[in-house]
Chains A and B, each alone.
Chain A
Amino acid sequence: NAGVTQTPKFRVLKTGQSMTLLCAQDMNHEYMYWYRQDPGMGLRLIHYSVGEGTTAKGEVPDGYNVSRLKKQNFLLGLESAAPSQTSVYFCASSYMDRESNTEAFFGQGTRLTVV
């Protein structure tokens, strides 16, 4: 059971380049999330998904796009990278059981540098 796996772990981009970060979970969770974390800061929600084929904007969605074509995968795209997008990106998935207990599981993070 791998949990939440992010690909790649590290990446350096030039300004204006595009890339896609992949998040895969094998826990059959309905909800998935993308966050960014800047040095010394908390996590900020970029986009999230409540199920296959659905996505929604979080707190800082500008400059990013997402897709959830398959339940187990949540992709984060940067169409034209900017230095301000240099950050550590975390993906998470979560569930809610019948007793309304919920728990999120996080990936190991992707360290992205835009030069």
Chain B
Amino acid sequence: LAKTTQPISMDSYEGQEVNITCSHNNIATNDYITWYQQFPSQGPRFIIQGYKTKVTNEVASLFIPADRKSSTLSLPRVSLSDTAVYYCLVGVAPNDYKLSFGAGTTVTVRA
């Protein structure tokens, strides 16, 4: 997987928008960008995946600029229950079967 860099932690308040940027300068042409969310004492769960431009689902939006060397996960109007660790992964099978997680970004939402 292409190496990724994301902030270690971010703080926010309820109702605010949280944007987490992930850098992946060595992203390959066929690589997808995927974000996972992990709550304490649980396994990670898939949030969103994209290849270019913008992807939106019921949980988040993913913004990918034209050069694809970074991506931004946007969580609209966060609540206390959005406190979690968020992981950015870049890569895709069949060229790279490893699913390697970095340290992630710990997002803490306060009342």
Query: Which residues from chain A sit less than 8 Å from chain B, CB to CB?
Result: 4, 31, 33, 35, 41-45, 48, 50, 56, 58-59, 90, 92, 94, 96, 100-109
Q: Provide the residues of chain B in CB contact with A102, threshold 8 Å.
A: 32, 34, 49, 92-93
Contacts of B85 in A (CB 8 A): 42
Main secondary structure of the interface of B (DSSP, over half): loop
> Given that A50-B97, A101-B49, A104-B36 are known contacts, is A42 also in contact with B43, CB under 8 Å in the complex?
no
Within the complex, the shortest CB–CB distance from B106 to chain A, in Å, comes to 9
Bound CA–CA A31/B104 (angstroms): 22
Residue of A42, A92, A109 touching B99 (CB-CB under 8 A)? A92
Given contacts A101-B32, A103-B46, A104-B46, contact A48 B92 (CB under 8 A): no
Q: List 20 A-B contacts (CB under 8 A).
A: A4-B43, A31-B93, A42-B103, A43-B44, A43-B87, A45-B98, A48-B97, A50-B97, A58-B100, A90-B43, A92-B44, A92-B99, A100-B32, A100-B92, A101-B32, A102-B32, A102-B34, A102-B49, A102-B93, A104-B99
Q: How many residues of B contact A (CB 8 A)?
A: 24
Q: Chain A contacts of B46 at CB under 8 A?
A: 103-105
| Shortest CB distance A83–B (Å) | 21
- Assembly CA distance A59 to B98 (angstroms): 10
**What 6 pairs across the A-B complex have the smallest Cβ distances?**
A106-B43, A42-B103, A43-B101, A103-B46, A90-B43, A96-B93
Q: Is the CB of A100 within 8 A of B45?
A: no
